[in-house]
Amino acid sequence: MSNLMSGTELLRAALMIGSRLLTCGAEIYRVEESVARVCLAYGAKSADVYAVPTAIIATVQMEENDEIVTQTCRITQRGTDLNKVDALNQLCRSVCICPISYAQICKEIGEIDTGAVYSNRTLYFACGGGAMFFTLLFGGSLPAGLLAFGIGFLLQIFVLYSGRMGMHPLITNLFGGAWISLCALLGAAAGISANYDVVIIGSIMPLVPGLLMTNSIRDMIAGDFMAGISRFSEALLIAAGIAAGAAIPLSISSFLLGVF
């Protein structure tokens, strides 16, 4: 089966799958296992893969000529797209059962990259709806829920455009937390909802790095302590950015109330 592609092409194809899995939020063990399984399915004698959230290093030894190839893939962007994770998993399983050529794998990966995604409008309403749901869940009134919907709707617009501008996620979450807190305070001042704390908690929930925290714990349980600690630290930094941003308007309002 190794005649379908050379060792260099095989490792490049496996890393294309692995890097996209990591970019879309897959667990470290899933990334390492997927890269190794693809290499072994194409006739590699051995495959050693090491992955962390920011890079993948893989070495394969081919069966036929004992050729040893090593490649490193740097990961610069990370997010969450479980639809693509599922599609990449399906591709990995299919090529392990029925190997295809390098060109065909590139074509399949290209189709996954350009596959259907949620529209911006859907994301706006989803973020607003999530903020409204959590506000009502935590005991907020209907006006508080509607205020949270508007905050979440505009928050998602800011998050998407800040990502396009290349803004660091920590700064995005800092400004996002400040926006949420400021709007909740203005809503309370306007008489929409006196319980601004519930509005803040509910509106913050779409920013909380839940999947990142879950994956970090799963990585540590699986024995990938370096990756787990790295992801856990990233989740803590994101949470700290959100908390710091939310605290700024609250601190300013408390100071002004104390002065006047």
Confidence of residue 257 (pLDDT cuts 50, 70, 90): low
3-state secondary structure of 47: strand
Give the pLDDT of residue 203: 92
Phi-psi region of 25 (alpha: psi -120 to 50; beta: other; left: phi over 0): left
Residues 221-250 have a mean pLDDT of 88
pLDDT at 3: 59
With contact defined as beta carbons under 8 Å apart, do 16 and 50 qualify? no
258 confidence band (pLDDT: 50, 70, 90): low
C-alpha–C-alpha distance, residues 196 and 204, integer Å = 12
Backbone angles phi, psi at 41, to 5 degrees: -65, -25
pLDDT value, residue 16: 93
Does residue 145 register a pLDDT over 50?
A: yes
**pLDDT of 239 above 70:** yes
Q: Please give the order of strands across the beta sheet that includes 55-62.
A: 44-52, 55-62, 68-74
Q: How far is Cα 67 from Cα 176, in angstroms, rounded to an integer?
A: 51
Average pLDDT over residues 124-137: 93
156-187 per-position pLDDT tens digit: 999 888 888 878 888 899 999 999 999 999 99
Mean pLDDT of 110-123: 84
Lowest mean pLDDT among 3-12, 26-35, 192-201, 214-223: 3-12
Tell me the pLDDT of the chain averaged across its residues: 87
Q: Please calculate the CA angle 76-78-16 and round it to the nearest 5 degrees.
A: 70
Q: How far apart are CA 165 and CA 178, in angstroms?
A: 19
pLDDT tens digits, 39-96: 998 888 889 999 988 899 999 988 777 788 899 999 888 888 888 999 999 999 999 8
Parallel, antiparallel, or unpaired for β 44-52 and 68-74? unpaired
pLDDT of 260 higher than 50: no
3-class state of residue 255 by DSSP: helix
All residues at 6 or more sequence positions from 168 whose CB lies less than 8 Å from its CB, including other chains: none
Say if residue 143's pLDDT is above 80: yes
